[in-house]
Amino acid sequence: MLYVIFSEDIKNSLTMRVKARPAHIARLQALDDAGRLFVAGAHPAVDSDTPGEAGYTGSTVIAEFDSLDVAQKWADADPYVLAGIYAKVIVKPFMKVLP
């Protein structure tokens, strides 16, 4: 089943994000390589694809996991969580309707 992982950053997280990003991306790449990643991306703090120093306010991941518990454990082990970048992480089942 698909699960959505919606994460909100702490304020002024950009410097921390840059440092933890390679490990964060590596985990997402592993999901993608396994054919389990539907979509992943960041939420720019401003209305731009290149927010620069404004940084980001969070991230969304939608991926396939065996259960809500497994999805939660995966989210809890995210390098951004471990680095203190995310202030809040919500994990929920997700049902794709369209397209």
User: What are the structure tokens assigned to 71, written together?
Assistant: 């999805």
Distances (CA, A) of 17 to 10, 29, 42, 77, 93: 10, 17, 11, 15, 26
Q: Which of 97, 88, 96 is nearest to 5 (CA)?
A: 88
Residues of the chain with pLDDT under 70: none
At 71 the pLDDT is 98
DSSP label at 54? Answer: G
The pTM (predicted TM-score) of the whole model is: 0.95
Continuous segment of H or E residues that includes residue 71: helix 68-76
Distance of CA 74 to the CA centre of its chain: 11
Tens digits of per-residue pLDDT, 41-56?
999 999 999 999 999 9
